[in-house]
Amino acid sequence: MAMDCQQIIDLLADYIDGELPGDQRRRLESHLDCCDGCVEFVDSYRKTGVLCRNALRVEMPQSLKSTLLEFLRNELQSPQT
């Protein structure tokens, strides 16, 4: 079963910390193989470090989550040509 971007965001904090169980990590990584938006999200997450980590660790307001998903969708839908 493939993960969608919403699940990636939910698991990202554990993934970056290396706390994600192996099967979930593999599924997350296979999503990253075909989703440039999430790759960029992981990159920016790693760059922003602890600030963003704390933001994801706490219960994220639905509005903030929607903003992140909107960012990812815009990345995905931007023309490649």
From the list 11-19, 21-29, 36-44, 51-59, the region that binds Zn ion by CB under 5 A is 36-44
Does 35 engage in binding with Zn ion (CB under 5 A)? Answer: yes
Distances (CA, A) of 19 to 33, 36, 59: 20, 23, 18
Does 12 engage in binding with Zn ion (CB under 5 A)? Answer: no
Q: How far is the CB of 62 from Zn ion (least distance, A)?
A: 18
The residues binding Zn ion (CB under 5 A) are 5, 35, 38
